[in-house]
Amino acid sequence: MLKKIISTLLLLSFLSACAPAAPTVDPVSTQTATPVIEPEPANWWSDAVFYEIFVRSYYDTDGNGIGDFNGITQKLDYIQSLGVNAIWLMPIHPSPSYHGYDVTNYYNVNHDYGSMDDFKNLLAEAHKRDIRIIIDLILNHTSSQHPWFKNANSDPNSPYRDYYVWSETSGGGKWHEGNQGFYYGYFWGGMPDLNYKNPAVTADMLKVTDFWLNEVGVDGFRVDAAKHLIENGDKLENTPATHEWYKGFYSEYKKQNPQAYAIGEVFGAGSSVVKSYTGDQLDQIFNFEMSSGFVNSANGGANSGITSAFKFAFMDMPDFNYATFLTNHDQTRAMSTFNGNLDKAKLASFLMLTSPGTPFIYYGEEIGMSGKKPDEDLRLPMQWSNAENAGFSTGTPWRAPNADFATVNVTAQFDDPNSLLNHYRTLIELRKQHSALQSGDAVLVETSNPAVFALLRKSGGQTILIVANLGNAPIADYKLDLSENILSDGSLTPTTLFGAGEAQLLEVTGGKFSGYKPFTELPPYQTYLFEIK
């Protein structure tokens, strides 16, 4: 009772002038809660490397062809060996679809993936390894099979009628005919939008976040479709009302758990849009502009994409408080974009893992899994070995693995020092070891050649110079120029942390350098990290 009273008081500022919330339809789990881990220093995500997992496709332990929570638990040693220390799980709630973005019960797990006890065991085992877990939080809409909507759709006087957006007449393609009028669903009719102009909806969804943070013990949320929360006429994304709602949301989930992390999906967001959501609304937003820069520069062999993304970030987000990635579950996989070119895949991951921001790796990206639309083929079973079904399942997989699993798999790459998997491992470990790569400032270095990219990362007394030949040919015609006064004068020794060879001394005058060439020639696709002392 005391906890309910405290929770009610915390909500007052956010829900003033609202009627009491209608009773929730979802049954709250009565299972024993996993103890919440002790708080650690704020902003743990600043030092995190995340791994995005589609549970259905990761590892199947019971032979029914569907990945499960126990499968991820069994693979935690592998995940830990990769070096990541945080996991994002795509939707885990009950749902009529394979993907889970249409939720029917916010207080339970999808039984295709196991029980709530299985999930809590996964959490406990991950936390033992200092691995955090965040889950997808679908705020924008429910399933049309959710009890709230079924009740609202059958009775115009239902207490849940105002949980959704209704009209007596159709307003076009995003309006769908129900039993009692037309309802709004931005994505499709099976996902009716929730009505956040109704304070009762907010109150119920805050009960959901409290349940998962404090009764189950997750470490935070990835907020799906964050920009679409509250439409205003023809303006369907990033409305002022949406931003105002997130300000209240931020305050409330931080009260529920000050260490909770929430990251928003704002598809296509550049740095200016990212900035508009961070600070007092969500902890971070995915920077799609930076993602495109990594992939396009690696694929096209020119620094224009990544340089442009950095320049916008310098202007809008100089604290680099955003998340980076190459591709996610909605996009053509990186290796397919690169047409199977391993050098380009290594180059793109190098650019991401040495850049500012919190990196997210999509499962299978670390071994070069490929995939193109439809969406199901972007989310194929993880390729563990060359055994039947790619070692994913002893049964018939929910969807057949990619045909290249015989050669592209974890087992084949695990002990190969030149594999993409060990390339990821090495870079993640270097990122952990060097604060300049995690949280350091970033300064672009001019290269005089569009196929060469260079960046200086600096944190406290540590300075790291990043150099990459983005092209498929050796380059001798280049020179590195630093125009900002940020280094100590003298002959500085570059120690090679990544890449082959011993670089030339770096002469610094007035805190700057010009005409520097660490090597006479840069081999094709070669990447380097130099610690400048």
What gap in Å lies between CA 123 and CA 410, rounded to an integer? Answer: 24
Give me the residues paired with residue 463 across strands.
458
What gap in Å lies between CA 81 and CA 204, rounded to an integer? Answer: 39
Residue located via tokens 């015989």: 406
What gap in Å lies between CA 447 and CA 516, rounded to an integer? Answer: 9
Residues 305, 347 contacting (CB under 8 angstroms): no
What region, left, alpha or beta, does residue 500 occupy, with left being phi > 0 and alpha being psi -120 to 50 degrees?
beta
91: tokens are 């939707």
Q: Which of 68, 112, 265, 366 is flagged as catalytic?
A: 265
The neighbour count for residue 437, using CB atoms within 10 Å, is 23
Q: Specify whether 224 is catalytic.
A: yes
Q: In 3-state terms, what secondary structure has residue 405?
A: helix
462: tokens are 């540590």
What gap in Å lies between CA 434 and CA 508, rounded to an integer? Answer: 22
Give me the residues paired with residue 285 across strands.
264
Which secondary-structure segment (H or E) carries 362?
strand 358-362
Residues 397, 379 contacting (CB under 8 angstroms): no
Q: Specify whether 265 is catalytic.
A: yes
Closest Cα to residue 98, out of 139, 141, 55?
55
Name residues whose C-beta falls within 8 Å of residue 334's C-beta, 6 or more positions apart in sequence. Answer: 295, 326, 327, 345, 348, 365
Name residues whose C-beta falls within 8 Å of residue 272's C-beta, 6 or more positions apart in sequence. Answer: 312, 316
What gap in Å lies between CA 142 and CA 149, rounded to an integer? Answer: 8
The neighbour count for residue 439, using CB atoms within 10 Å, is 16
DSSP strands (E only) in 303-354:
323-325
Distances (CA, A) of 248 to 196, 242, 251, 281, 518: 12, 10, 5, 8, 51
452-459 and 441-444 strand pairing: antiparallel
Closest Cα to residue 206, out of 245, 239, 263?
245
Q: Which of 224, 289, 365, 531 is flagged as catalytic?
A: 224
DSSP strands (E only) in 416-526:
441-444, 452-459, 462-469, 480-482, 490-492, 494-498, 506-508, 513-516
What gap in Å lies between CA 210 and CA 382, rounded to an integer? Answer: 32
Name residues whose C-beta falls within 8 Å of residue 68's C-beta, 6 or more positions apart in sequence. Answer: 55, 59, 60, 61, 62, 112, 113, 114, 118
Catalytic residues, which ones?
224, 265
